[in-house]
Structure formats: structure tokens, C-alpha cells
Amino acid sequence: TAHNDNSRGSLIVLEGLDRSGKTSQSNRLVTFLKEKGLSVEFWRFPDRSTSTGQMISAYLANESQLDDRAIHLLFSANRWEKRSLMESKVMSGTSLIIDRYSYSGVAFSAAKGLDVEWCKAPEVGLIAPDLVIYLDISAEKAAERGGYGTERYEQLEFQKKVAEHYRTLYDASWKIVDGGLPVETLEEQIREIALGCILTCQKGKPLGELWH
């Protein structure tokens, strides 16, 4: 993976249900890419460190109540806050491995019954990922993995609805992997897919925007 000085990095998103293994696979991928000498950072949404992130965090912990549309827009604003930094990182050659993005935004809010097109609208104009790796696992199987925590949304029936909505968001940037595979097998698959993407971006594939 030769890296010339002005080639751009990649925006790679991992998506999936709660307990699908996204976070640990994201971390493993970041470690691997760093060991290869690539410039890479791990990001996640929601980014709980900003002021919108703190409102989101309180909502998820059931410490505050918010209208479904209000929280949806906060999640979106939490991504908009990071848009310019994201663009400058990627354009200066750093790849970002991101745990959740606009697909979580739409799938979780739509699972509450909000209109999908309404949910997508505030995401339009955010940077489109070069690659979305979807860790496919049934809600039942995810729930068996040591159970859910206590946050809002960590419930079987709700997660089933989220899975249905994720399915409607698949597009050409998606690669679906089997979240039920052994960790190392999955890690290997993800490495290969990610390296392919990084190479394509280095060769000059333009950055896109959601939601075209």
C-alpha cells in the first residue's frame, strides 16, 4: 500500500446492531492499519465529548426525555459539528475508522416510527463514507452475547426493527460481513476489505456526499 504525499485517506464506517462487535472490530482494524504505517484515527458517533454529545448521552442513559425528532436532530448536529474536521483529516491523508454514522441515525429513529425520508434529510451534505462495513447479526443472536446494557434502545424488539431499517439503507458503498463469525476470521475479512478501499481512495477516488 504505497502512500504518496498528496493522496487522501478513507472514510470507513462500521455499522450494525448493538453487540454486533463493531467497536472491537473498529479498534482491531485501527491497530492493524497503524502497524502498517498508515495514518489512521478511530472515531465514533455519537461523539459524547461535545455539548450536543452530552445531551445525547443523558438521553441514552434515560436521564432526560426528548421529543423523537429533537433527539434525531441532535444526533445529526453531532455529526455536522465534525464535518469540516473530518474533511480536512481525510483530505490530508488520514483515514478515519468510524463506529456508527448516519445509517445508525436513520435506522434507530425510523425504528421509532419516524418517516425515513424525514430522517435522511438532515444528513444530506455530510461526507459520504467510502466504505460501510455492516456487521450482520440477528437481534436474537446479538442479545445472547452477554445481554444488553441499560441504555435506551438496548432491547430485543427494538433492535429487530432497527435491523429491518438498516436493510433498506444498503447501497454500493456497503460490504456486509457475517457478524457471527469468530472474531479473528471476521477481523481478517475486514482488513482485506478496508485495505482495498484505502488503495482505491489513494488512487484518487473523489469524496462523495450523502445522500445521493
Q: Which of 60, 98, 110, 128 forms a contact with ligand FDM (CB under 6 A)?
A: 60
Query: Helix/strand/coil (H, E, C) string of 110-126?
Result: HCCCCCHHHHHHHHCCC
Under the binding rule (CB under 6 A), the answer on residue 46 touching ligand FDM is yes
User: In this chain, which of 43, 108, 134, 166 binds ligand FDM, going by CB under 6 A?
Assistant: 108
Using the rule CB under 6 A, which residue among 8, 19, 28, 100 binds ligand FDM?
Answer: 100
- Measuring CA to CA, which residue among 34, 36, 13, 37 is closest to residue 25? 13
Should residue 120 be labelled a site residue for ligand FDM when binding is judged by CB under 6 A? Answer: no
The minimum distance between CB 21 and ligand FDM, in angstroms, equals: 12
CB of 105 to ligand FDM, least distance (A): 3
104 part of the interface to ligand FDM, by CB under 6 A: yes
What is the identity of the amino acid at 109? S
- Give the count of residues interacting with ligand FDM (CB under 6 A): 10
Mind giving me the DSSP string for the chain? ----TT----EEEEEESTTSSHHHHHHHHHHHHHHTT--EEEEESS-TTSHHHHHHHHHHTTSS---HHHHHHHHHHHHHTTHHHHHHHHHTT-EEEEE--HHHHHHHHHTTT--HHHHHGGGTTSEEPSEEEEEE--HHHHHHTT---SSTT-SHHHHHHHHHHHHTT--TTEEEEETTS-HHHHHHHHHHHHHHHHHHHHTTPPPEETT-
Indicate the residue among 74 and 207 with the shorter CB distance to ligand FDM: 74
Among residues 137, 131, 114, 145, the alpha carbon closest in space to that of 192 is found at 131
Selected from 30, 33, 52, 75, the binder of ligand FDM by CB under 6 A is 75
143-182: contacts with ligand FDM (CB under 6 A): 153
CB of 164 to ligand FDM, least distance (A): 15
Shortest spacing between CB 58 and ligand FDM, in angstroms: 12
CB of 165 to ligand FDM, least distance (A): 11
Q: Which is nearer to ligand FDM, 18 or 187 (CB)?
A: 18
Question: Which of positions 3-32 make contact with ligand FDM (CB under 6 A)?
Answer: 18
- Chain residues in the site for ligand FDM (CB under 6 A): 18, 45-46, 60, 75, 100, 104-105, 108, 153
